[in-house]
């Protein structure tokens, strides 16, 4: 089982060496698809041994679809620049390479932990999220909108209990900025699909999101960082649906003027 590691990146000089080296621990080669970095991302990736390919930004899904076409192996392992394979996951993947599963298994999903303010989130059975990141590209394809894209697999996906460690935010400001970018992209997708919202839906979603994160997903066990992250993720939900509302009414006003 030969595996190609893939990273999509732009201005990730602080992270790129670490993720490339992490992928090389289980992959025979690594490809970095760069969309126009202005820092040292490309030179550092090459220095770490990766093949760097420029591709203009097409959105997250578009970049991943392009990256898959650049691999020379059927199996690919995808990480973002701020993600790392845990030691346990490295061991599990190396065992798979030595003793592959049956040909019916076309992909593997892993748990992903989120690290924020020195605490590990989504690290238990109630809150963990799963990501399909190791897959046979002949039977798999990236689907989704402008953000939160996912792999769609034709065939069996096997769950592996080991983890990807996600270091998405260095501080609160970076978290807030990322959430706001994602909120705008997600809102655009929802609007294009005909999603509408209003006062009661926005109010309900804000309240439900905070309760879901802080209580159901046990963020309260993480102390003050848990409260801050629950609030930031609630802010993401609020901004997303407020932007949907804005897009709805901007579109309605344009349609009304056109009819007049």
Domains of the chain listed by start with CATH number: 3-166 (3.90.550.10), 172-259 (no CATH)
- Return the structure tokens found at 235: 């802010």
* Res 260: pLDDT: 47
Q: What is the pLDDT of residue 128?
A: 81
Segments in the chain below pLDDT 50 = 256-258, 260
Please answer whether residues 131 and 110 qualify as being in contact, where contact means their C-beta atoms are separated by less than 8 angstroms.
yes
The predicted-structure confidence for 166-176, as pLDDT tens digits, reads as follows: 998 888 899 99
Quickly count: other Cβ atoms within 10 Å of residue 207's Cβ.
12
- 88's CB contacts (< 8 A; 6+ apart) are 162, 163
Distance (Å, rounded) from C-alpha 39 to C-alpha 84? 21
pLDDT score recorded for residue 251: 58
Beta strands 75-78 and 119-121, pairing class: unpaired
**Ramachandran angles phi, psi of 27, nearest 5°:** -110, 150
Write down the residue that tokens 């109010």 correspond to. 203
């Amino acid at each position: 089982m030969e595996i190609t590691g893939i990273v999509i990146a732009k201005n990730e000089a602080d992270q790129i060496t670490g993720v490339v080296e992490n992928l090389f621990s289980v992959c025979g080669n690594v490809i970095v698809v760069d969309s126009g970095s202005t820092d040292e991302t490309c030179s550092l990736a090459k220095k770490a041994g990766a093949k760097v390919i420029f591709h203009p930004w097409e959105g997250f899904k578009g970049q991943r679809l392009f990256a898959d076409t650049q691999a020379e192996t059927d199996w690919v392992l995808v990480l973002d620049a701020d993600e790392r394979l845990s030691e346990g996951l490295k061991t599990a993947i190396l065992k798979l390479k030595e003793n592959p599963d049956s040909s019916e298994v076309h992909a593997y999903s892993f748990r992903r932990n989120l690290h924020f303010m020195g605490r590990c989130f989504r690290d238990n059975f109630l809150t963990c999220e799963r990501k399909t990141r190791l897959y046979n590209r002949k039977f798999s394809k990236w689907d989704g909108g402008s953000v939160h894209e996912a792999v769609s697999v034709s065939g069996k996906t096997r769950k592996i209990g080991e983890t990807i460690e996600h270091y998405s935010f260095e501080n609160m400001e970076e978290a807030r900025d990322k959430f706001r970018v994602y909120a705008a992209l997600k809102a655009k997708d929802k609007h294009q699909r005909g999603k509408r919202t209003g006062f009661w839906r926005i109010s309900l979603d804000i309240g439900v999101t905070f309760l879901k994160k802080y209580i159901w997903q046990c963020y309260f066990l993480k102390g003050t960082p848990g409260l801050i992250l629950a609030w930031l993720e609630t802010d993401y939900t609020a901004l997303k649906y407020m932007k949907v509302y804005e897009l709805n009414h901007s579109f309605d006003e344009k349609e009304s003027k056109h009819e007049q």
